[in-house]
Amino acid sequence: MKLDDLSKDDLSKDDLNKNATKTPDSDDSRSNDLKEDPLLSICITTRNRPQELIKCLNSISKLRGINFEVVVSDDASDKPVFSQIIDAVAPSVIAKARLIRFEENIGLIAARNELAKLARSPYILSLDDDAILYKPDVIYKAIKILERDSAIGAIALTQSGEDGTLLPKGKQPAPVDYPCIACSYIGFGHIIRRDLFLSLGGYRSIFWYGYEEAEYAKRMLDRGFNVLFLPDVGIIHYHSPIGRSQLKHMRNGCRNKCLAAIYNEPFLMAAASIPSRLVHYFVSRGKVCKEHKISDEGGMRWMDQEISQNFLAVWRERKALKWTTYFRWWQIHKDYPLYELSPQNTSKNVSDSVPESISTGVSTKVS
């Protein structure tokens, strides 16, 4: 895997100097804000979506009163994206950005892992390139909660349509309209603790695409950290059709759940859940194919090959999570418990860089 710096794109030297986007390690390419470690790293992976990336980056300029950096990876786009966006992105965002390019397509999940390693802040706001920061108040609120409650490992954000209206509850990380402990988050927009993410090994790169968030959330829960869902409007996700494949989504969903079972589930649980998932895939794929007008010819053969070929590599890294972790997971999925900020987990050193006018809006749990 090779990382290229921006100077190998199609930009002129004048453009590089003007926009301060040289190599990720060049001190003279950073604004004064980046000479001090930021509080928040905004990490974005992109591939063949320059117009979507422009919208995403420009939306970040809404953030105020917080020291942040932007780290963007181009995952081997057919044409390097940076030369296509540099003149269309707000200079205030470019000044805070580090832009890197992978010469070979390593996949969304591996790219996110690499961005986490490059990030310099304690918290990472991960955005899809077809997501837009709509209302930044939820970001300020999320950071305050992470600063105060050490038991929260990740923040799940809501997704809205292009007009800013929240999508139906079934398309949200939790089907409720109050702050709650959730099972997982969705990749389009979420905030994680960087140190915790790295200590747990990040996402499973072998997944390539799909189910990485839920699998990581279970490992995080096993270590005693929760996902917090905030119902506030914050992120628009307009689902660009470029690079999307319903067939890949369906196949990888089943494949990665089976691999996750090998990685994490107690043996008896995995022995029951893997056949169950394969049966569900076989039964449900007809409906999905009909709805989206696609063909899954050879799908079961592909699934068998993928699981068989990756079994030994996954088994070598297997570390079963506790039964109590899965019991807790099922409880959360059933109840979505109202979130309460625990006084004993409250820090007295909440960062002054988060605007104080933003209320955390934490509710008290009612029995």
Q: What is the pLDDT of residues 234-245, one digit of tens each?
A: 999 999 999 889
Task: Label residue 318 by pLDDT band (50, 70, 90).
Answer: very high
Domains in the chain, please, with CATH? 3-237 (3.90.550.10), 246-318 (no CATH)
Res. 8: pLDDT tops 90: no
What value does the mean pLDDT take over residues 327-351?
73
Cα–Cα distance, 280 to 205 (Å, whole number) = 24
What value does the mean pLDDT take over residues 247-259?
95
Res. 353: pLDDT tops 60: no
Backbone angles phi, psi at 321, to 5 degrees: -80, 165
Res. 367: pLDDT tops 60: no
Q: Which of 105-109, 154-158, 296-300 has the highest average model confidence (pLDDT)? A: 154-158
Cα–Cα distance, 114 to 273 (Å, whole number) = 31
C-alpha distances (whole Å) from 73 to each of 101, 147, 191 are 5, 27, 18
What value does the mean pLDDT take over residues 10-26?
33
More confident: 63 or 9: 63
pLDDT of residue 275: 97
Which pair of tokens denotes residue 7? Answer: 């100077």
Res. 357: pLDDT tops 80: no
